[in-house]
């Protein structure tokens, strides 16, 4: 539901997006450590051509200084779109990403959305990294079976007060030879 007609986001004919699409873009962008570091920077000092002193840049995202775990991300305003905010915060290993558009109380509303998400969901680890997920028989192998381990922790946000069930689907048998890496 997004069409970017310009690279800068200023109003243009047929240039539009949705809060959902912006949250999806943010979720993907937050996987990049450089992006994550930049959007969470509250204050930066950079060289200023033609001046002896550096230029000081202050991030206008108030959540960075007022909301526990805030990670940024992007404030925006145009007359056509109003006050817009793409935001993210992390607590207890869970990251919440969201967006408000044309919202005069953007920081308060973003904080409320994140508070609600953190209250309603928590990050649960179903399998730890290198934890056994089961055994699979090996047909005509040197060993009767091979162990299957999680290559990384299996985590997911789960509605508070509930426990997920984990269903492991493994092949019924593997033909030899099996690379045990």
- Give residue-wise pLDDT tens across range 142-159: 889 999 999 999 999 999
Torsion angle of C-alpha atoms 175, 176, 180, 181, degrees rounded to 10: -80
Q: What is residue 24's three-state secondary structure?
A: helix
> What are the tens digits of pLDDT across the range 28-58?
999 999 999 999 999 999 999 999 999 999 9
Q: What is the pLDDT of residue 180?
A: 66
As given in the structure block, the two tokens for residue 32 are: 């990049």
Q: Is the pLDDT of residue 173 over 80?
A: yes
Q: Is the peptide bond before 177 cis (omega within 30 degrees of 0)?
A: yes
Task: Please name the helix (run of DSSP H) or strand (run of DSSP E) that holds residue 122, with its range, or none.
Answer: strand 121-127
DSSP-derived letter for residue 64 is: H
Q: What is the pLDDT of residue 164?
A: 87
Separation between Cα atoms, residue 101 and residue 109, nearest integer Å: 10
Q: Is the pLDDT of residue 176 over 80?
A: yes
């Amino acid at each position: 539901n997004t069409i970017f007609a310009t690279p800068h986001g200023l109003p243009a004919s047929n240039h539009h997006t949705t809060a959902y699409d912006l949250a999806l873009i943010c979720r993907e962008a937050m996987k990049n450590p450089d992006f994550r570091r930049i959007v969470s920077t509250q204050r930066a000092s950079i060289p200023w051509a033609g001046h002896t002193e550096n230029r000081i840049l202050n991030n206008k995202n108030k959540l960075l200084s007022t909301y526990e775990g805030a990670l940024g991300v992007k404030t925006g305003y145009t007359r056509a779109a109003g006050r817009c905010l793409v935001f993210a915060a992390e607590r207890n290993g869970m990251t919440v990403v969201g967006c408000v558009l044309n919202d005069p109380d953007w920081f308060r509303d973003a904080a409320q959305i994140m508070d609600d998400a953190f209250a309603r969901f928590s990050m649960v680890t179903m399998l730890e990294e290198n934890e056994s997920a089961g055994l699979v028989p090996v047909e005509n192998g040197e060993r009767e079976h091979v162990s299957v381990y999680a290559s990384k922790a299996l985590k997911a946000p789960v509605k508070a007060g509930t426990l997920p069930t984990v269903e492991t689907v493994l092949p019924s048998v593997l033909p030899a030879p099996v690379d045990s890496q």
